[in-house]
Amino acid sequence: MKQETTHLRKRTALWIAIALITQATASLPTQAQSDAPRGDPARGRMLFMTAYRCYACHGFDAQTGQRRLVPLNYSEQGFITFVQNSPLPQMPAFSDVADHDLADIYAFIRSIPVDAPAVDQIPLLEGIIDSALEPFED
């Protein structure tokens, strides 16, 4: 009984620590989160889907595909510079795309809610926690 209580306390403490870390990191603003986009998200969606077909690599929700864009960790200017001068071999540089088009695409991407589940809703995580606590059960 004592071992079960100790295991339960350690497990609870670990879950609390994970929840606190998750909450703390979620509330820290990144450069991209603190800059309000100046573009038009509706126009950006149209450009993302039709004009430049960004969805082909990034998915319709910008969260699937080769590279996930949501959450976007670039400032607006950083995003524009990156897209126009991409150093990645799998992404072409769109050097001829106007800044205002990329500002609209940036605004669209920033308007997409993150589709990631809460930490306590990831079943695999429970197995990882159980495995991590096994050495302490004795």
> If one looks up domain 2-114+124-136 in CATH, what number appears?
1.10.760.10
Q: Which residue has the tokens 């071992």?
A: 3
Reported as a single tens digit per residue, the pLDDT across 100-120 is: 999 999 999 999 988 766 656
The predicted structure's pLDDT at residue 21: 55
CB-based contacts of 123-129 (< 8 A; 24+ apart in sequence): 125/18, 129/11, 129/14, 129/15
Phi, psi of 21 (to 5 degrees): -65, -45
Model pLDDT for residues 61-86, shown as the tens digit of each residue? 888 777 888 888 889 999 999 999 99
CA dist 80 and 74 (Å) reads 9
**Which pLDDT does position 131 carry in this prediction?**
76
- Burial bucket for residue 121 (CB in 10 Å: 0-12, 13-18, 19+): exposed
| Overall pTM > 0.85 | no
